Chain A
Amino acid sequence: MVRYKARYLLITIHYPTEPAPPGSNPTLPFTHPSHPSLTKQSLSNLIRDSLALQFGDYGAGAAGNMTVKYFSPVTSTGIIKVSRAHYRMLWASLTFMKEVMGRGAVVSVVRVSGTIKKVQIEATRRAKEGIRRARGVGGEGVGLDVMDILDDDGDGDEGSGDEE
């Protein structure tokens, strides 16, 4: 019996047409939180819809075995698991997504890996870099909100990373 090979995709959702949320750091103009009701379940439904639209029934069936392993609406970051044979199909349907819950969105894949651990490490690294960028220019008052959000998430990621 051959092992089931999978790919893990680390995704970020950008909302490029929206103005930066009030009180956010000016150095991070494209880090919008997603709507709080966007959960793992609803995101997975959205992706399945997009798959069915781009690749028809065949695509929805073949790549439909994907699962959303993690999604944080606060940082708009998520991890998706999909079988290795079909990850490009899934990736393309992510690329062609035009909107997420009625907001114009760009979904970009920032890391592909065969193990979830490396993806986790990358997510943590990106969160930390975001904090560094915000601290670098923002100063005390301006950067506070974003830093709080990112700090929470960064710690959470680190915690789960350590457990493994």
Chain B
Amino acid sequence: MFYDLNVPWAPTSPDLPRTVAFLNELGYNVIALSHTHSGKFPQSQPNPIPENPFPKHPNLQILRRITVILDDPSQNHRLAALTSAYDIVALRPTNEKLLLQACKELDCDLISVDLSQRMGYHFKHKTVGLAIQRGIFLEINYSASINDITARRNLIGNAAALIRATRGRGIVISSEARRALGVRGPFDVINLATLWGLSQDKGREAMDGLPRLVVAQAKLKRTSFRGVIDVVVNEPPRGNKRRAEDAAGPSDQPEPEASPEGNQKTEAPPRLSKKARKALARASKS
């Protein structure tokens, strides 16, 4: 299972269907179409990406993501409202203060710094470590480095710095390719990651294990009660157990007892079993 969590959504671009088809051909299984938003948010904004834009690829799971560009610390981005409309919410901080804010307290699933430009600051382990502790991963987008030589230089340097700061943990690699030519095969990208200083297995994790966690966590955040208990209607239990385990791991809430309850159609809180009630109490404490 390979993931590409950043394919820019451009409804008018004729290249997008081609890019998606090519990603499918190269062996990606899950991609996320990304809508980038900067500046002020209107009162209510519908999701511009349709539910299933490319029905032609049955093997490809397509998610919808929003990338919010942070450039004003005082602005309220209504991130909570966004979480219900999109599958993944990513933040792109433009300076060090905002990066710290995003790592520390903002409610999101992914932090994606634009590494193809010269950074005015250094990544600190303290800052990025905060994000990883909260289960929010950092994203490297490689596509800019394929077209442009200066972007390539910056990306190699910045990615190496980021990997050094995170000690190789919590890195997700995706493309941000605007054209089909900017996409590379999953194993080619893993090889690039070894060039940046990530080991081979960590590179592979960055392409399949960790993005899967991001997607699973994001899904749990949206559908479940405090990320612990999910109401499941008419769904075979096998997929769910897996997902529940995923969420329990990084968020430091080992709740193996709670997940089977979640699978068996948990209803309103008073009907919960003893185990589930305990789980709830623990979740609300933390």
Residues of A within 8 A of B (CB): 14, 16-17, 29-30, 88, 91-92, 94-96, 98, 104-106, 108-110
Task: Report the tally of A-B residue pairs with Cβ distances under 8 A.
Answer: 58
Most buried by B among A17, A29, A98, A108: A108
Distance A14 CA – B22 CA, assembled complex (angstroms): 9
Shortest beta-carbon distance from B25 to chain A in Å: 5
Beyond A17-B179, A108-B185, whether A98 also contacts B195 by CB under 8 A is no
Distance A94 CA – B146 CA, assembled complex (angstroms): 11
Other than the given A96-B152, A109-B185, 12 more pairs (CB < 8 A) read A29-B21, A88-B195, A91-B191, A92-B191, A92-B192, A95-B146, A95-B184, A98-B146, A98-B181, A105-B181, A106-B184, A109-B188
Closest 7 CB pairs of A and B: A16-B180, A108-B185, A16-B22, A95-B188, A91-B191, A104-B181, A30-B25
| Cross-chain contact of A91 among B15, B21, B145, B188 (Cβ < 8 A) | B188
Measured between beta carbons, the chain A residues less than 8 angstroms from B22 are 14, 16, 30, 106
Residues of B within 8 A of A (CB): 15, 18-19, 21-22, 25-26, 145-147, 152, 179-181, 183-185, 187-189, 191-192, 194-195
Distance A109 CA – B188 CA, assembled complex (angstroms): 7
A-B contact pairs, 17 of them (CB 8 A): A14-B25, A16-B19, A16-B181, A16-B183, A17-B18, A17-B180, A17-B181, A30-B25, A88-B195, A91-B188, A91-B191, A105-B181, A106-B22, A108-B185, A108-B187, A109-B188, A110-B185
Shortest beta-carbon distance from B190 to chain A in Å: 10
Distance A56 CA – B217 CA, assembled complex (angstroms): 43
Shortest beta-carbon distance from B97 to chain A in Å: 34
Measured between beta carbons, the chain B residues less than 8 angstroms from A98 are 146-147, 181
Distance A98 CA – B146 CA, assembled complex (angstroms): 7
Q: Is A108 touching B147 in the complex (CB atoms < 8 A)?
A: no
Shortest beta-carbon distance from A137 to chain B in Å: 13
Shortest beta-carbon distance from B147 to chain A in Å: 7
Q: Is B181 touching A88 in the complex (CB atoms < 8 A)?
A: no
Shortest beta-carbon distance from B204 to chain A in Å: 14
Distance A29 CA – B152 CA, assembled complex (angstroms): 30
Shortest beta-carbon distance from B255 to chain A in Å: 41
Distance A94 CA – B195 CA, assembled complex (angstroms): 13
Measured between beta carbons, the chain A residues less than 8 angstroms from B180 are 16-17, 106
Q: Is B25 touching A29 in the complex (CB atoms < 8 A)?
A: yes
Distance A17 CA – B183 CA, assembled complex (angstroms): 11
Shortest beta-carbon distance from B22 to chain A in Å: 5
| Cross-chain contact of B183 among A29, A91, A106, A110 (Cβ < 8 A) | A106
Q: Is A88 touching B184 in the complex (CB atoms < 8 A)?
A: no
